[in-house]
């Protein structure tokens, strides 16, 4: 029996030249560079390329026009980049505003007593029970549409889920022994909120920002697409897609495919950033 | 042949420092340990000496990023991850420190019956609950409704019902009053009498002495001494390692005199003997190599000066 | 400067009384040991004295006056599990600084090494963390210290090191201390007055 015993060393260490943090960092650099190219492209490319040029109408993809041109001879690459830049701006502003709302409401709900908590919880439930898009259309419409309407609409519809997360997190922290000790050491509520509670929710906020953002962009594109968001004069990606729909049956496939894929790419990029941040900032994975 | 034999086990973790640098933190190194059927071995040492991690390594529940080397044999077979998974909770039982290891969403009676099937399982479970003084209303409770003492008895009865051959109890007694401690310890004794091997992890030398056959003393991630309980007597002159002597003498019922200094950390271990910086017998040889383990007077020691 | 519990009773909501009419007076510099089976209410009494919990009835008096509701609490409590009492997101230096300015001598007596201050809580062992908790509880404003199973989770060497340090400090500063422990041998080593908690609770006796 013992002669059959094999002494096998077990070792679970695959060869990796980068550690986890370095890999995340590289991913983030690549993704950020990509996004930077999109934004720079959108800002730098001249408006001449999207001026009407009837001599170059309906061209397929070529070296001069990688994404082709549309029925007015406008360069689709330029249109797409400008559209995405606008969308990123709108999405980022709206996501940042949403995160701020979530932080304030989440902290208030968890620390200001039962009445405030039930009011905020009721609001969260209310907003979650109505589909985002419907709420967004109502708010945007009420505010007269345009960039302002869309941004405010997005900000006001994307906070509830994150508020819930923050409220739960703070609720749990509030009764932590170190918070109780801090009170007996004579520290103020403000000190405890800032120094003890905030560092625990800060990672959630960062992650929240990057995960809300793609949502916001897609919703912006969606309501613009159905004509209730940004005005048709804005070079928004939703406008491009909705216009292109009309030409889909005319074999001008490039009109919808390239802008659509680009939108997908940008959204995915932010998703990746969010996921990496989440796993890096999660204390349970600090050693990974 | 020992039931469980751990040979030259090392466990380390990768820990990030500033930016992208990381360092290896060695939490267990060159550790050897063995236990026979029917034997109770107490593992004592300070927090951070690797006691619980040894238990987790045997059970195969170390965090995924742990770096493990060395061998563990169970009943003559190498304890591979798949074997660990097969035996864990059955032949290999774990009585953890906290209730958190019970499934919070399941009534306790179902958890205790666990793997058993058929009509007999109800009967066996009822018998065992009776034996451990668990009334019938406890059966329908959920883990959060249990008191600490009850939870421990339930974990112990889970081990009984599964006919465990090897039980690891991690710090089952701290902060409990004498009657509850006695009850917990006597249940381990009963296991050993039935041929089960019990590994009893504790920092409480007193309760270790009252129940164990052997005591393994851990320091900074390795075993410095294994001694029969009879050697813990007087002012510790029969103990082999200076650290075990110091532990023994620092007890309130003995001299209550501590030695200075503290256990080295996993990322700044000394090159030679781990205890050398705090030892008054240190010679240049101690500072150069980690002492090999050697058999001494029916026990084991890692000290070149031990006699 | 005495600490006094006068007719202190406690129960959770409308449930059974955990204890009733406890009277206890501790003088500055006095070392009192409190023992009793688990679940008898020792910890709750400790939390009431240190202002973590309100008594259902009765009052806690410090210098014959009720305790302050805000500001630095003159009666500080040290818990059994140091890893729960320290914010995992704070470096150890910040943990100490929360208590105000602590002198080097205090840290030395508690065996806190200089290079531990740069570390994070997850890099220190339970015994090391507990030293920080004790140092934090011994800020300049502390008049009484309550140690609730303070060294129960620690090995004997660390336990002896900590108690020798703490006893030195409280003696020097004339701080009163209540030591709660299930370890009667340890209590007898340390205290000048030993109280069996169930006796305090059963009848209305005063010590």
DSSP character at residue A197: I
Q: Which domain holds residue A91?
A: 87-283
- In chain B, residues with a C-beta closer than 8 Å to the C-beta of C180 are none
Whether residue A44 lies inside any domain: the answer is no
Structure tokens, C45: 């009494």
Give Dmax over CA atoms of chain C in angstroms.
51
Q: What sections of B146-297 are H helices per DSSP?
A: 148-161, 178-193, 205-211, 242-249, 284-288
Distance in angstroms (rounded) separating the CA atoms of residues A75 and A49: 6
Q: Which of A180, A182, A286 lies closest to C98 in CB terms?
A: A182
pLDDT reading at B61 higher than 60:
yes
Q: Which of B15, B73, B77 lies closest to A287 in CB terms?
A: B15
CB proximity list for B172: less than 8 A, separation 6 or greater: B95, B97, B152, B184, B200, B202
Taking an 8 Å cut-off on Cβ atoms, the answer to whether C155 and B180 are in contact is no
Please give the residue that has the higher pLDDT: either A222 or C189.
C189
Please give the residue that has the higher pLDDT: either B130 or A152.
A152
Please give the residue that has the higher pLDDT: either A165 or A55.
A165
Would you place residue A1 in the very low, low, confident or very high pLDDT band (cuts 50, 70, 90)?
very low
- In chain C, residues with a C-beta closer than 8 Å to the C-beta of B47 are 125-127, 153-155
Candidates C126, A285, A18, A10; CA nearest to B11 is A10
Interface of C with A in 131-170 (CB under 8 A): 136, 139, 141
Residue with tokens 């490319």: A45
What confidence score (pLDDT) does residue A187 get? Answer: 92
The model's pTM: 0.83
Would you place residue A24 in the very low, low, confident or very high pLDDT band (cuts 50, 70, 90)?
confident
Residue with tokens 């082999």: B240
Report which secondary-structure segment, H or E, holds A85.
Answer: helix A76-111
pLDDT reading at C81 higher than 80:
yes
Looking at the complex, report in whole angstroms how far the Cα of residue A70 sits from the nearest Cα belonging to chain C: 55
- In chain C, residues with a C-beta closer than 8 Å to the C-beta of B174 are 152-153
Average pLDDT, chain C: 90
Sign of the C-alpha dihedral computed for residues B203, B204, B207 and B211 taken in this order: positive
Looking at the complex, report in whole angstroms how far the Cα of residue A4 sits from the nearest Cα belonging to chain B: 9
Chains touching A (3+ CB pairs < 8 Å)? B, C
Taking an 8 Å cut-off on Cβ atoms, the answer to whether B262 and C111 are in contact is yes
3-state secondary structure chain C: CCEEEEEEEECCCCCCCCEEEEEEEECCCCEEEEECCCCCCHHHHHHHHCCCCCCCEEEEEECCEECCCCCECCEEEECCCHHHCCCCCCCHHHHHHCCCCCCHHHHHHCCCCHHHHHCCHHHCCHHHHHHHHHHHHCCCCCCEEEEECCCCCCCHHHHHHHHHHHHHHHHHHCCEEEEECCCHHHHHHHCCEEEEHHHHHHCCCEC
Structure tokens, A209: 């920002």
CATH number, domain of A145, equals 1.10.3720.10
Taking an 8 Å cut-off on Cβ atoms, the answer to whether C189 and B205 are in contact is no
pLDDT reading at A130 higher than 90:
no
Q: Are strands B299-301 and B222-228 parallel, antiparallel or unpaired?
A: antiparallel
What confidence score (pLDDT) does residue C173 get? Answer: 95
Would you place residue C127 in the very low, low, confident or very high pLDDT band (cuts 50, 70, 90)?
very high
Chains touching B (3+ CB pairs < 8 Å)? A, C
Question: In chain B, which residue's Cα lies nearest the Cα of C35?
Answer: B177
Candidates A209, A212, A213, A245; CA nearest to A227 is A245
In 3-state terms, what secondary structure has residue A229? coil
Would you place residue A106 in the very low, low, confident or very high pLDDT band (cuts 50, 70, 90)?
very high
Q: Which of C80, C159, C189 lies closest to B175 in CB terms?
A: C80
Residue with tokens 């007077």: B297
- In chain A, residues with a C-beta closer than 8 Å to the C-beta of B68 are 10-12
Looking at the complex, report in whole angstroms how far the Cα of residue C202 sits from the nearest Cα belonging to chain A: 30
What confidence score (pLDDT) does residue B142 get? Answer: 81
Q: Does the beta carbon of A54 lie under 8 angstroms from any beta carbon of chain B?
A: no
CB proximity list for A122: less than 8 A, separation 6 or greater: none
Residue with tokens 């009494």: C45
What confidence score (pLDDT) does residue B147 get? Answer: 67
Size of interface A-B (CB pairs under 8 A): 46
Across the range B143-151, mean pLDDT stands at: 72
Across the range A270-276, mean pLDDT stands at: 82
Structure tokens, A221: 């594109």
Q: Which of C51, C76, C84 lies closest to A177 in CB terms?
A: C84
What confidence score (pLDDT) does residue A7 get? Answer: 39
pLDDT reading at A15 higher than 50:
no
What confidence score (pLDDT) does residue C122 get? Answer: 86
Question: In chain C, which residue's Cα lies nearest the Cα of A184?
Answer: C73
Distance in angstroms (rounded) separating the CA atoms of residues B277 and B264: 9
Contact B60, B93 (CB under 8 A): no
Per residue in C97-107, pLDDT (tens digit) is: 999 877 899 99
Domain extents for chain B? 4-91+162-301
pLDDT reading at B9 higher than 70:
yes
Whether residue A210 lies inside any domain: the answer is yes
Q: Which of C123, C158, C163 lies closest to B46 in CB terms?
A: C158
Percent with pLDDT over 70 in chain A: 91
Q: Which of A1, A7, A12 lies closest to B68 in CB terms?
A: A12
What separation, in Å, do the N-terminal and C-terminal C-alpha atoms of chain C show?
Answer: 17
Distance in angstroms (rounded) separating the CA atoms of residues A99 and C2: 50
Average pLDDT, chain A: 81
Q: Does the beta carbon of B16 lie under 8 angstroms from any beta carbon of chain A?
A: yes
Across the range B270-286, mean pLDDT stands at: 93
- In chain B, residues with a C-beta closer than 8 Å to the C-beta of C36 are 177
Percent with pLDDT over 70 in chain B: 92
Would you place residue B99 in the very low, low, confident or very high pLDDT band (cuts 50, 70, 90)?
low
What confidence score (pLDDT) does residue C117 get? Answer: 93
In 3-state terms, what secondary structure has residue B266? coil
Q: Which of A184, A195, A196 lies closest to C50 in CB terms?
A: A184
Per residue in B192-246, pLDDT (tens digit) is: 998 999 999 988 888 889 899 999 999 999 999 999 999 999 999 999 999 999 9
Would you place residue B98 in the very low, low, confident or very high pLDDT band (cuts 50, 70, 90)?
low
pLDDT reading at B55 higher than 50:
yes
pLDDT reading at A2 higher than 50:
no
Residue with tokens 């004794």: B189
Per residue in C145-174, pLDDT (tens digit) is: 999 999 988 999 999 999 999 999 999 999
Looking at the complex, report in whole angstroms how far the Cα of residue C16 sits from the nearest Cα belonging to chain B: 17
Taking an 8 Å cut-off on Cβ atoms, the answer to whether A178 and C122 are in contact is no
Distance in angstroms (rounded) separating the CA atoms of residues A113 and A270: 36
pLDDT reading at B100 higher than 70:
no
Contact B230, B210 (CB under 8 A): no
Candidates A3, A1, A13, A11; CA nearest to B80 is A11
Whether residue A81 lies inside any domain: the answer is no
Structure tokens, B12: 């380390």
pLDDT reading at C177 higher than 90:
yes
What confidence score (pLDDT) does residue B233 get? Answer: 93
Question: In chain B, which residue's Cα lies nearest the Cα of A1?
Answer: B76
Looking at the complex, report in whole angstroms how far the Cα of residue C100 sits from the nearest Cα belonging to chain A: 9
* Domains: count for chain A: 1
In 3-state terms, what secondary structure has residue B177? coil
CB proximity list for C63: less than 8 A, separation 6 or greater: C1, C2
pLDDT reading at A97 higher than 90:
yes
Question: In chain C, which residue's Cα lies nearest the Cα of A202?
Answer: C89
What confidence score (pLDDT) does residue B185 get? Answer: 83
Q: Does the beta carbon of A174 lie under 8 angstroms from any beta carbon of chain C?
A: no
Tallying the residues shown for chain B, one arrives at 307
Question: In chain B, which residue's Cα lies nearest the Cα of C155?
Answer: B46
- In chain B, residues with a C-beta closer than 8 Å to the C-beta of A5 are 73, 76-78
What is the CA angle C36-C39-C42, rounded to 5? 55
What confidence score (pLDDT) does residue B115 get? Answer: 59
Size of interface A-C (CB pairs under 8 A): 43
- In chain C, residues with a C-beta closer than 8 Å to the C-beta of B15 are 123
Distance in angstroms (rounded) separating the CA atoms of residues C127 and C151: 8
In 3-state terms, what secondary structure has residue B191? helix
Taking an 8 Å cut-off on Cβ atoms, the answer to whether C152 and B174 are in contact is yes
Per residue in C32-61, pLDDT (tens digit) is: 999 987 777 888 999 999 999 999 999 999
Average pLDDT, chain B: 86
Would you place residue A43 in the very low, low, confident or very high pLDDT band (cuts 50, 70, 90)?
confident
User: Best of B8, B23, B60, B68 to disrupt the A interface by mutation (most A CBs within 10 Å)?
Assistant: B68
Size of interface B-C (CB pairs under 8 A): 85
What separation, in Å, do the N-terminal and C-terminal C-alpha atoms of chain B show?
Answer: 27
Phi/psi for A260 (5° steps) reads: -60, -50
DSSP character at residue A230: S
Taking an 8 Å cut-off on Cβ atoms, the answer to whether C87 and A196 are in contact is yes
User: Best of B10, B32, B65, B80 to disrupt the A interface by mutation (most A CBs within 10 Å)?
Assistant: B65
Would you place residue A5 in the very low, low, confident or very high pLDDT band (cuts 50, 70, 90)?
very low
In 3-state terms, what secondary structure has residue B67? strand
pLDDT reading at B131 higher than 80:
no
What confidence score (pLDDT) does residue A287 get? Answer: 40
Distance in angstroms (rounded) separating the CA atoms of residues B95 and B170: 6
What confidence score (pLDDT) does residue A61 get? Answer: 82
Per residue in B159-198, pLDDT (tens digit) is: 777 788 999 988 876 656 677 778 778 888 888 998 999 9
Whether residue A72 lies inside any domain: the answer is no
- Architecture field, domain B4-91+162-301: 3-Layer(aba) Sandwich (3.40)
Distance in angstroms (rounded) separating the CA atoms of residues C207 and C196: 11
- In chain B, residues with a C-beta closer than 8 Å to the C-beta of A21 are 16, 20, 22
Please give the residue that has the higher pLDDT: either A153 or B113.
A153
Q: Which of A9, A11, A21 lies closest to B20 in CB terms?
A: A21
Interface of A with B in 9-38 (CB under 8 A): 9-13, 19, 21-22, 25
Distance in angstroms (rounded) separating the CA atoms of residues B16 and A40: 35
Region for C71 from its dihedrals, namely left if φ exceeds 0, alpha if ψ lies in -120 to 50, beta otherwise? left
Question: In chain C, which residue's Cα lies nearest the Cα of B207?
Answer: C183
Whether residue A211 lies inside any domain: the answer is yes
Q: Which of A177, A186, A286 lies closest to C79 in CB terms?
A: A177
Question: In chain C, which residue's Cα lies nearest the Cα of A181?
Answer: C85
Distance in angstroms (rounded) separating the CA atoms of residues A114 and B220: 49
């Amino acid at each position: 029996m013992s002669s059959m015993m094999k002494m096998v060393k077990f070792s679970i260490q695959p060869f990796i030249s980068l550690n986890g943090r370095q890999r995340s960092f590289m991913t983030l650099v690549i993704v950020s560079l990509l996004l930077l190219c999109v934004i720079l492209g959108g800002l730098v490319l001249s408006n001449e390329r999207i001026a009407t040029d009837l001599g170059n109408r309906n061209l397929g993809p070529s070296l001069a026009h990688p994404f082709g041109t549309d029925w007015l001879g406008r360069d689709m690459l330029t249109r797409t980049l400008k559209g995405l830049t606008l969308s990123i701006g709108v999405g980022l502003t709206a996501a940042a505003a949403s995160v701020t709302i979530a932080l304030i409401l989440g902290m208030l709900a968890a620390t200001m007593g039962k009445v405030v908590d039930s009011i905020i919880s009721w609001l969260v439930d209310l907003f979650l029970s109505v589909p985002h898009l419907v709420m967004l259309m109502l708010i945007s419409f009420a505010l007269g549409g345009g960039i302002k309407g869309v941004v405010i609409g997005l900000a006001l519809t994307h906070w509830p889920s994150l508020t819930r997360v923050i409220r739960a997190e703070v609720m749990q922290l509030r009764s932590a022994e170190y918070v109780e000790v801090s009170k007996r050491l004579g520290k103020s509520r403000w000190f405890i909120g800032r120094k003890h509670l905030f560092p625990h929710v800060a990672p959630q906020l960062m992650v929240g920002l990057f995960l809300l953002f793609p949502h916001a962009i897609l919703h912006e594109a969606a309501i613009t697409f159905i004509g209730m968001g940004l005005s048709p004069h804005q070079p928004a990606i939703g406008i491009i897609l909705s216009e292109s729909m009309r030409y889909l049956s005319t074999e001008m496939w490039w009109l919808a495919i390239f802008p659509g894929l680009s939108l997908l790419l940008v959204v995915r990029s932010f998703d990746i950033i969010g996921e990496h941040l989440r796993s890096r900032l999660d204390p349970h994975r600090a050693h990974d | 042949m020992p039931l469980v034999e751990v040979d030259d086990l090392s466990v380390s973790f990768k820990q990030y420092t500033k930016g992208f640098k990381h360092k290896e933190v060695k939490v267990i190194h060159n550790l050897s340990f063995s236990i026979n059927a029917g034997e109770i071995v107490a593992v004592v040492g300070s927090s951070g000496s690797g006691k619980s991690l040894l238990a987790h390594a045997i059970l195969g529940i170390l965090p995924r990023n742990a770096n493990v080397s060395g061998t563990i044999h169970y009943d003559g077979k190498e304890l591979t991850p798949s074997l660990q998974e097969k035996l864990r909770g059955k032949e290999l039982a774990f009585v953890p420190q906290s209730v958190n290891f019970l499934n919070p969403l399941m009534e306790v009676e179902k958890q205790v019956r666990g793997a058993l099937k058929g009509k007999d399982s109800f009967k066996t479970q009822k018998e065992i609950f009776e034996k451990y003084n668990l009334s019938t209303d406890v059966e329908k409770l959920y883990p959060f409704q249990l008191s600490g003492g009850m939870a421990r008895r339930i974990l112990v009865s889970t081990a009984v019902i599964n006919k465990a051959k090897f039980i690891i109890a991690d710090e089952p007694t701290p902060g409990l009053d004498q009657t509850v401690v006695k009850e917990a310890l006597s249940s381990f004794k009963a296991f050993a009498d039935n041929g089960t091997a019990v590994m009893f992890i504790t920092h409480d030398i007193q309760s270790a002495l009252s129940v164990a056959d052997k005591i393994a003393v851990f320091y900074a991630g390795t075993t410095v001494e294994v001694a029969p309980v009879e050697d813990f007597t007087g002012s510790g002159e029969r103990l082999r390692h200076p650290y075990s002597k110091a532990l023994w003498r620092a007890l309130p019922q003995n001299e209550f005199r501590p030695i200075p200094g503290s256990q080295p950390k996993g990322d700044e271990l000394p090159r030679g003997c781990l205890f050398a910086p705090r030892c008054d017998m240190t010679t240049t040889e101690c500072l150069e190599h980690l002492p090999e383990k050697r058999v001494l007077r029916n026990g084991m020691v890692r000290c070149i000066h031990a006699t | 400067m005495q600490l006094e519990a006068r007719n202190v009773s406690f129960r959770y909501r409308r449930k059974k009384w955990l204890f009733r009419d406890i009277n206890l007076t501790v003088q500055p510099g006095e070392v009192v040991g409190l023992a009793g089976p688990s679940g008898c209410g020792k910890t709750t009494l400790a939390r009431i004295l240190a202002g973590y919990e309100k008594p259902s009835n009765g009052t806690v008096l410090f210098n014959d006056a009720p305790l302050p509701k805000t500001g630095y609490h003159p009666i500080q409590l040290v818990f059994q599990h140091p890893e729960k009492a320290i914010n995992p997101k704070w470096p150890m230096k910040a943990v100490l600084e929360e208590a105000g300015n602590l002198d080097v001598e205090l840290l030395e007596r508690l065996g806190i090494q200089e290079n531990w201050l740069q570390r994070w809580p997850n890099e220190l062992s339970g015994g090391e963390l507990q030293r920080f908790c004790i140092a934090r509880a011994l800020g300049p404003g502390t008049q009484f210290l309550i140690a609730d199973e303070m060294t129960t989770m620690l090995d004997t060497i660390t336990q002896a090191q900590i108690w020798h340090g703490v006893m030195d400090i409280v003696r020097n500063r004339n701080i009163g201390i209540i030591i709660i422990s299930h370890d009667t041998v340890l209590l007898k080593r340390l205290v000048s007055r030993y109280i069996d908690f169930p006796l305090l609770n059963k009848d209305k006796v005063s010590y």
